[in-house]
Amino acid sequence: MKNFKMFSSGIAMLVLFTSFVGLKTLTHPEKERTITGTVTANGLPIPAVNVIVKGNTKGTQTDFNGHYSIKAKKGDILQFRYIGFKDRDVKVKDNNVTNVAMQSDSQALSEVVVTSQGIKREKKSLGYAVSGAAPGVVIRGYASNKATDQLYQPSPVYEKDAEHEFEKSRYQPIDKNDEDYGTFVENPFEAPKNAPLSTFSIDVDNASYTNIRRFINNGQTVPRDAVRVEEMVNFFKYQYPQPSGAHPFSINTEYSQSPWNKDHQLLRIGLQGKHLSTDNLPASNLVFLIDVSGSMGSANKLPLLIQSMKILTQQLRDEDKVSIVVYAGAAGLVLPPTSGSDKKAIVDALERLNAGGSTAGGAGIELAYKTAQEHFIKGGNNRVILATDGDFNVGSSSNEAMEKLIEDKRKTGVFLTVLGYGMGNYKDSKMEILADKGNGNYAYIDNIQEANRFLGKEFKGSMFAIAKDVKIQIEFNPNQVQAYRLIGYENRKLRPEDFTNDKIDAGELGSGHTVTALYEIIPVGVKNDFAETTPKLKYSKVEPTTSVYKDELATVKFRYKKPDGDTSTEMVNVISNDATKLEKASGDFKFSAAVAWFGLKLRDSKLIANKSSGDIKKLAKEGLANDTDGYRAEFIRLVDGEAKKIAGLD
């Protein structure tokens, strides 16, 4: 009996102890705390990544800098999800900061369904659709066959099992020649005695560079006419000083040796636009003009477009307003002017978009400009933002009708931004025409990081003009210059008399933007194998300048208008004939020269003999100092390594 009482007492104490421990556990559960971090891919932030706590409904999204903040407790699983990247599950530990690096997943990007309710993932079997598929079907992305240099898409009748494994042998090739690029002839060398003036419109577009990057990253040969050297050079930012006077930009020049021909010289001319603070930016009246035709059904078109527009939406202020116009078989207003403070309404409208139907771009452009004009803000930033793959028609004679339509619309004071998406049937030439004729700029969005750069980080420069119709005219001194050529800008050249004609359209310059132009120069006395010999004249004689200008290389003039002005202001700058050795040139000079060199190589220029990728890479590496975002290092990777081998650059 005594032993039984002791046993019973022990059981009671054990129960009491167990109850106490359980009570303590219930009284002190793991507390929630704020977990923050940055989501990146290849060192670049990813906006709009979904972050949720596994097992409940708590969730958030990363902002345009890739930052997130969410309440969670130790032991919770954070799930990171985004189209085009592999899912990541991360367990919350003691640290309050959890940074996540995501990896690209082309299969995941392609496994989406475009529906009238938005975009969702397909979890079970997959069907496939060619361009023009109706809403509600599964749209499959593209893969690359490096051996045959062709794009592929799955057969429409082929269905995959739950593992969604690719089998390239079952794919049907897409003719990449369906992409459309305007043809042009490379600028030749010219003699100052015959052509003393070089005149062109500035260009701040950089669509060509991101498109080239897409080709190389996909293991494809870059089409020659897709390469516009000036757009490659202007993708990168350079350390020019801010303007100090009344003019909206500073003028900067540097003169050194040409890296691809040591007997030649290279002149760099750079403009630096004035940085406007957010407080000083005018109110915006933006119209998103979105192509939702059947050709936009691919995952790297409409789904990427929607995510891009979400990034832009995050930049809006309360005083800004946005309208959304869509077009396919017909055009329609899907969101009336809405304040930037109501971002949810804007995002909801974007997520309801779906692809299907034919493409009548003219009706969409008409409605977008009409909407912008009806809500025009005097002194504000009035702009149509066209997002498309360019596969649309305007009238019976497409390109000519487009030019006339856009030239008429630019008279309204509404600026134009063109965003290009997609591959396979991409119509670069049409979008370039739109941007050139519409007081606009043009960017190609090849991935979400590029959307973040152009529409997030460089929002002010992309969307707020500080000067329009900016023209450059250079007069070269024949005492110093035997021949010269403008590198790139073939589609931006103007007649000498256009410089002073305020009716002639030219490029715009955005807040904080830089514009760079390069001239290759053959000095007097250097053997010339490139420029044609000047014929002797019978009726007129061109005399060299007097010795009073012997120290001058050239005189450069600039003309520009205020964004709402009609009359140009002129600036003049004299460039001295004082070339430095290439090794003493600035890092920016070397890097811009390397980019131009690579572009000339991709175009297989007949005016450069040295096309060594090793030499291009070496010069670019000497200009890596100002590379906070890693874009210059990325350029070197395009020149070198696997990308170089696949694209056949050596």
Rounded to an integer, what distance in angstroms lies between the CA atom of residue 450 and that of residue 465? 20
Q: Does 454 share its domain with 336?
A: yes
Instruction: Specify the pLDDT at position 647.
Output: 44
CATH label of the domain that carries residue 58: 2.60.40.1120
* Angle made by CA atoms 427, 430, 431, in degrees to the nearest 5: 90
Q: Name the domain count of the chain.
A: 4
* Distance separating alpha carbons of residues 352 and 118, to the nearest angstrom: 5
- Which of 275, 212, 282, 267 lies closest to 514, judged by CA? 275
Q: What is the pLDDT of residues 185-194, one digit of tens each?
A: 999 999 998 8
Residues 282 and 304 in one domain: yes
CA gyration radius, the chain: 29
* pLDDT at 3 (0 to 100): 53
Which of 463, 490, 513 is a domain's end point? 463
Mean confidence (pLDDT) of the chain: 80
Is pLDDT above 60 for 4?
Answer: no
The residue out of 85, 101, 117 marking a domain boundary is: 101
Q: With 70 as the cut, is the pLDDT of residue 112 above it? A: no
Range of 625's domain? 197-276+466-526+562-646
What is the average per-residue pLDDT within 498-515?
A: 93
Helices (H), 331-397: 343-351, 361-374
CA 518 to CA 499: how far, in whole Å? 19
Tens of pLDDT, residue by residue over 22-67, are 444 444 567 899 999 999 887 777 877 788 898 876 778 787 678 8
What is the predicted pLDDT for the residue at 10? Answer: 52
Pair (419, 320) in one structural domain: yes
Question: Are 619 and 633 part of one and the same domain?
Answer: yes
Task: Give 604's pLDDT tier (boundaries 50, 70, 90).
Answer: very high
Amino acid in the structure at residue 249 = F
Return the amino acid letter for 111. Answer: E
In a domain, 216, yes or no: yes
Give the residue-averaged pLDDT of 8-18: 50
Bigger pLDDT: 5 vs 246: 246
pTM: 0.74
What whole-number distance in Å separates Cα of residue 276 and Cα of residue 280? 6
| Residue given tokens 């290759």 in the structure block | 520
Spatial distance between the Cα atoms of 525 and 194, rounded to a whole number of angstroms: 17
Residue 134's pLDDT band, with cuts at 50, 70 and 90, is very low
Side chain identity at residue 271, one-letter code: L
Same structural domain, 229 and 299: no
Residue 180's nearest CA partner among 393, 396, 3, 465 is 393
Q: Tell whether 456 and 415 lie within a shared domain.
A: yes
Q: What angle do CA 528, 589, 555 make, to 5 degrees?
A: 60
Q: Which of 3-12, 351-360, 402-411, 464-473 has the highest mean pLDDT?
A: 464-473
Where residue 114 falls among pLDDT bands split at 50, 70, 90? very low
Please tell me the distance from the alpha carbon of residue 306 to that of residue 350, in angstroms, as a whole number: 6
Residue-wise over 16-46: b if at least 16 C-beta within 10 A, else e? eeeeeeeeeeeeeeeeeeebebbbbbeebbb
Same domain, 38 and 157: no
Q: Please tell me whether residues 266 and 292 are part of one structural domain.
A: no
Is residue 14 predicted with pLDDT exceeding 50?
A: no
Distance separating the N- and C-terminal Cα atoms of the chain: 96
Show Cβ contacts of residue 1 under 8 Å, excluding neighbours closer than 6 positions.
none
Q: Which helix (H) or strand (E) holds 452?
A: helix 448-452
Does residue 184 form part of some domain?
A: no
The candidate with the shortest Cα–Cα distance to 166, out of 106, 119, 121, 124, is: 106
Please state, for a pLDDT cut of 90, what percent of the chain lies above it: 51
Token pair 């993708």 in the structure block, residue: 235
Tell me what pLDDT residue 119 has: 35
Residue 536 lies in a domain: no
> What value, to the nearest 5°, has the Cα angle with vertex 575 and ends 574 and 576?
115
Do 493 and 575 lie in one domain? The reply is: yes
Per-residue pLDDT tens digits for 412-448: 889 999 999 988 778 888 888 888 888 888 999 988 8
Residue 189 CA to residue 508 CA, distance in Å, equals: 27
Nearest to 571 by CA among 274, 276, 275, 271: 271
469/460 Cα distance (integer angstroms): 18
Do 423 and 294 sit in the same domain of this protein? yes
Per DSSP, 182 falls in state -
Q: Over 50: is that where the pLDDT of 397 sits?
A: no
Task: Give the three-class secondary structure for 112.
Answer: strand
Whether residue 143 contacts residue 217, with contact meaning beta carbons closer than 8 Å, is answered with no
Residues 37 and 128 in one domain: no
Q: Residues 6 or more apart from 106 whose CB is under 8 A from it?
A: 84, 141, 142, 143
Which residue is it, tokens 């061109």?
542
Same domain, 381 and 514: no
Instruction: For 231-243, write each residue's pLDDT tens digit.
Output: 999 999 999 999 9
Q: Is 543 contained in some domain?
A: no
Domain final position from 416, 436, 463? 463
Tens of pLDDT, residues 76-93: 999 998 766 788 999 999
Q: Does 533 fall in a domain?
A: no
